[in-house]
Amino acid sequence: MSDAKLQSVLSALSQTVRQLDAIPAKQPGPEANCVKLDTNENPFPLPMLVMRSAIAALKRHYLYPEDDNRCLREAAANAYGLSRDQVIAGNGSSELLGLIYRAFLAPGDSVAMMSPGFSFNRKLALLQGAQFLEIEWSKAYSLPIEQLLLGPAKEAKFILLANPNNPSGTFVPIAEIDRLAAQSDRLIVLDEAYVDFAPDDALRLINRHSNLLVLRTFSKSYAAAGIRIGFGFGHPELIGRLRNSQNLFNMNLIAHAVGTSILSHRAAYAENHKHIKDERHRTTAALSKLGFSVTPSHANFLLARAPPGQNGTWWQASLRRRKILVAVFPDDGLENHIRVSVGSKTQMDAFLSAAADISKSLKMQPVTHG
């Protein structure tokens, strides 16, 4: 296609889509044998009972998956004490987020998110031509209810918050979310992606508040990030409208089988969750000894501020040279932080050993970090 033809094709795109740069054809991937602690995966194998369900489903590969995810929704409803009409299943909770943005936002509308938060929401708002309002957490990461109800977010079509929050790992008491939903007449979208590592959850509130939509995923606490299983829970009218806008056969046979099996065998993950909490505590203590300031976390990751005079990007690069991958963020106030996923003991030993070596080398030969 000539350049002139290409420009003609691109000119037909919506103005919003034209604002997005094309993704490069070749993007660097992680090096071989890296310790991957940058995307909050749960690196443990599926329980054998769950794995068998996946293998059995693969043998039916020539069949279309069940439309509207009926059996999976039924299994989730039974597991969480709800009706099937209160459940939507998705290709990860990210698909469900996209549905919510398309259903509730028109060009010129606004949406409010607690910030720092899940950055993917900025892109979803842009694609809808909506204004994205970021409401800052307080220093103690408490919920600024009055600001959400009466401040800049007053006209937002919905309010998005995560509990535990990403990237901070902090947890808001459920009573605060209860109060926000009770006082607001707008949709409250509560992302509970990491809630299985936290002390409480808000699922019981959906029967109390018709304006509350709770999202869950099996990517973090159930080691199924690559299989893509997510759920939304809410009022049947709200859920029904979202289901009606889903793509046909939005989930595959293996996701259906694995999701249903996980819901029947959640107790099999108890040791997994305990391990992550134990490693989270151990890693927090070890990083603190190295001079990091670690935000108390209720998720499967840690947000750690680098020692004085050092920034997150420098630490990320230094760890990458040792084949350890961690995340950094461009948000104001997070420039000096790294986020570290909590993985296996072997992975965390490798990370802490590399961090200790870097810290030791800094003390022996001070350098300037821009």
Task: Give me the phi and psi of 213, to 5 degrees please.
Answer: -120, 120
DSSP 8-state symbol, 365: S
Query: To the nearest whole number, what is the mean pLDDT of the chain?
Result: 92
Give the number of other CB atoms < 10 A from CB of residue 180. 23
pLDDT at 28: 59
Q: What is the DSSP string of 287-305?
A: HHHTT-EEPP-SSSEEEEE
Task: Report domain 29-44+270-362's class.
Answer: alpha beta
pLDDT at 17: 64
Collect all residues with Cβ–Cβ distance below 8 Å to 240 and sequence separation of at least 6. 85
pLDDT at 1: 45
Q: In the chain, where are the structural domains located? A: 29-44+270-362, 48-264
Question: What residues are paired with 191 via a beta bridge?
Answer: 162, 215
Instruction: Round to whole Å and give the CA distance between 4 and 8.
Output: 6
Q: pLDDT digits over 304-349, tens only?
A: 999 998 999 999 999 999 999 999 998 778 999 999 999 999 999 9
Do residues 242 and 96 make contact, with C-beta atoms less than 8 angstroms apart? yes
Residue 353 parent element (H or E): helix 345-364
pLDDT at 16: 65
Please, what's the b/e burial string for 289-314 (b: 16 or more CB within 10 A of its CB; e: otherwise)? ebbbebbebbbbbbbbbbeeebbbbb
Task: Report domain 48-264's class.
Answer: alpha beta
Q: What is the DSSP string of 31-78?
A: PTT-EE-SS----SPPPHHHHHHHHHHHTTTTSPPPGGGHHHHHHHHH
pLDDT < 70 stretches in the chain = 1-2, 5-6, 8, 10, 13-31, 365-370
